Amino acid sequence: MPNKTNTSELKMHAAADGKLFEFARALRKSMIPAETVMWECIRNKKLGVKFRRQHPIDNFILDFYCHELKLAIEVDGSIHEQYDNKLYDEYRTIQLKEYEIKVIRFTNEDVLNSLNSVLDRIMGFIHNGGIFPLKKEPHPYALLLKGEGHRAS
């Protein structure tokens, strides 16, 4: 893992080895339908930033990765709902945070059945400068504390 003081200078592949590159190349040739749909929507800077598919970083292969935003997009099948796989996904996310990489996950069903919502969430992240947008508006009391709300007379 990187030295905490050096994480802003993340190398594109962060110590991935040659075998991982070969495996990533094979994965690119056999993407599942949900990954293919996602790739068609984000490739060639269609969302304004460059994504790579099946991108090796350290000991991991990310489904999709934008180096500019340090954003990984994972498209997960039902196997990821199993307890051991959930733990491994959490471990991966923690390890990737060491590189300041943010991970956003969608299920295959999300991509295949709610593509507009998936793309809206990704665009929200891109347009918020690499920060996940709030899912709901802040409570009015929180706005008052910040001096942005209106008090009733």
Domains and CATH numbers, the chain: 4-145 (3.40.960.10)
Which residues, other chains included, contact 89 with Cβ-Cβ below 8 Å and sequence gap of 6+? 74, 76, 80, 105
Residues 30-53: tens digit of each pLDDT: 788 999 999 999 999 999 999 999
Pick from 147, 124, 123: which is nearest to 136 by CA?
A: 124
Say if residues 25 and 51 touch (Cβ distance below 8 Å). Answer: no
Which 8-state DSSP code applies to residue 113?
H
Which tokens go with 25? 């190349």
Is residue 146 predicted with pLDDT exceeding 60?
no
pTM equals 0.70
What confidence score (pLDDT) does residue 12 get?
58
Which of 2-11, 26-35, 76-85: highest mean pLDDT?
A: 26-35
